[in-house]
């Protein structure tokens, strides 16, 4: 994750807006996923029942 884009691998990057549209929901703010991963919590849970999305981040 970079400030202006997210990459699935070295050669496949896209804007956060297009990432949201493809994988999450276009309703989310552009850097939603980046902000979620940057939270300073041991565990992060996000559930969006309307769009059937569940994200669980576990940190050691």
- pLDDT digits 0-9 by tens, 1-58: 999 999 988 788 999 999 999 999 999 999 999 999 999 899 999 999 999 999 999 9
Which pLDDT score is estimated for 28? 96
Encoding tokens for residue 47? 């559930």
Residue 60 has pLDDT above 80, yes or no: yes
Q: What is the pLDDT of residue 9?
A: 83
Per-residue model confidence (pLDDT) at position 11: 84
Looking at residue 24, its pLDDT comes to 94
């Amino acid at each position: 994750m970079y400030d202006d884009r997210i990459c699935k691998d070295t050669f496949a990057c896209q804007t956060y807006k297009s990432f949201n549209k493809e994988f999450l929901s276009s309703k989310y703010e552009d850097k939603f996923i980046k902000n979620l991963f940057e939270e300073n919590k041991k565990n992060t849970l996000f559930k969006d029942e309307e769009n059937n999305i569940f994200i669980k981040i576990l940190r050691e």
